[in-house]
Structure 1
Amino acid sequence: MAVDYSKLSILIVEDDNFTRGLIRKVLKEIGVRSILESSNGKDGLMEVVRTRPDIVFCDIHMAPMNGKQFLQGVRGIKVKDVDKTPVIFLTGDADLSTVRFAKEYNVNGYLVKPISLAKLRDSIDAVVSSNVGMAQWLT
């Protein structure tokens, strides 16, 4: 079964405008119509609560709230399954401590930059296919 990307709502939490623009472009290329953006973790956390996106792509190295703090914040929200929102980390590094942290807080994916269309699409496919609640996005 294939994923119907046009039905997904995706939030990009990335402080670098250029990188955020590239991710937005790739998401549009695969058919995502609802793309939300935040330039830092603090605003991103408020956006998750406000809009309830289906998937979040989040950079790790940001200020004033980094990706790790953002993930802890999402997992700590106990309102209508917001804490179960799939989060995929975007990072330029893959150090062991970050990978361990990602596992501890149930990150749903981990992409090392630079990110290709294929990697982005595959990470979305993996999240949708492993999440029973997302069956409506399969065609």
Structure 2
Amino acid sequence: MFDPTSQHAYENLRILVLEDEWYIRQIICRLLRQIGFQLIDEAENGVDGFREILRVRPHLILCDIHMEPVDGITFLRKLRALGHEQLSQVPVIFLTSDKQRETVLAAKELRVDGYLAKPVSLATLKDRIDHVLLQRQGG
């Protein structure tokens, strides 16, 4: 049971960061370590992200929207369409500077779990992650 007030709430949760810009990925990973995550995996696009999902089975995915060759919307569409119940339901939070109505609507239609505008702060990132994880366990 996820309890964000516990000192050890995050250390056994595996998180996958999909971000094509190396320095942004490093900043996000540093913020996640400050929150308490220890099991952090990275991929620079949706193709590599799928390989990592199958390899590490994350509890949560943070995903940029604008990546090549597979962008975040396409990645999420393929993830949700997977035949594997556990993997297709992994919570996804989009990290992006794109606030266009079409992008937001496409993300919602694909059941994105959260949406954060870059640059993201430590407090905002933690709050969104906590909200998504609590919501997923029915809390």
What is the TM-score with the length of structure 1 in the denominator? 0.92
Alignment of 1:1-139 (within 5 A): 1-2=3-4, 4-132=9-137
For structure 1, which runs of at least 5 residues remain unmatched after alignment?
none
Secondary structure of 1:6's partner?
coil
Q: CA RMSD in A?
A: 1.4
Runs of 4+ off more than 4 Å = none
Larger CA deviation: 60-69 vs 44-53:
44-53
Equivalent-residue separation in structure 2 for 1:20 and 1:2 (angstroms): 23
Secondary structure of 2:83's partner?
coil
Larger CA deviation: 26-35 vs 45-54:
45-54
Aligned length: 134
Q: Percent identity?
A: 43
Equivalent-residue separation in structure 1 for 2:39 and 2:103 (angstroms): 29
Structure 1 residue 79: deviation in Å?
1.3
What is the TM-score with the length of structure 2 in the denominator? 0.92
Secondary structure of 2:74's partner?
helix
Secondary structure of 2:115's partner?
strand
Larger CA deviation: 72-81 vs 1-10:
1-10
CA displacement, residues 15-61 of structure 1 (integer Å, 9 cap, x when unaligned): 00000000000000111000000011111012112211000000000
Secondary structure of 2:58's partner?
coil
Secondary structure of 2:11's partner?
helix
Structure 1 residue 81: deviation in Å?
1.6
Structure 1 residue 82: deviation in Å?
0.7
Report the AA paired with residue 123 of structure 1. Answer: R
For structure 2, which runs of at least 5 residues remain unmatched after alignment?
none
Structure 1 residue 2: deviation in Å?
2.2
Equivalent-residue separation in structure 2 for 1:119 and 1:81 (angstroms): 27
Structure 1 residue 93: deviation in Å?
1.6
Bigger RCO (CA 8 Å, 6+ sep): 1
